[in-house]
Amino acid sequence: MSDKVVHVGDADFDSTVLNSKEPVLVDFWAEWCGPCKMIAPALDELADAYDGRAKIVKVNVDQSRALAAKYHVRSIPYLVVFKDGEKVGEQIGAVGKAQLAGLIDRALA
């Protein structure tokens, strides 16, 4: 597990994600979600690969219901890319590392 993956909740989402200087890939997930666990290793690898250029942040939807409601999380994993406080990309469901990297790359372009 990468120490570069940041876990945030209702209290620190805005300061960590919306106010970030670099793009942020947010993984809305839950402990009981099998596909969420499947993509966790890819997210860890991406956090290391993009260190200093983009952030990987995880939000547990069971612990942060207000955020899940605000961003209309209907199914998980739900991955959203934020840049300059705005949503610039999203992916619903588990996908491979290359597709996740593509989301980040588009935000960096």
User: What is the pLDDT, as a whole number, of residue 3?
Assistant: 86
Say whether 90 is catalytic: no
User: What is the pLDDT, as a whole number, of residue 2?
Assistant: 74
User: What is the pLDDT, as a whole number, of residue 72?
Assistant: 95
User: What is the pLDDT, as a whole number, of residue 51?
Assistant: 96
Q: Which CATH superfamily is domain 5-108 in?
A: Glutaredoxin (3.40.30.10)
- Catalytic residue chosen out of the listed positions 5, 25, 26, 33: 33
List of the chain residues with pLDDT < 50: none
Strand order in the sheet with 78-83: 5-8, 55-60, 24-29, 78-83, 86-92
Say whether 36 is catalytic: yes
The span from the CA of 80 to the CA of 8, in Å, is 14
The span from the CA of 26 to the CA of 34, in Å, is 17
- Catalytic residue chosen out of the listed positions 5, 26, 36, 81: 36
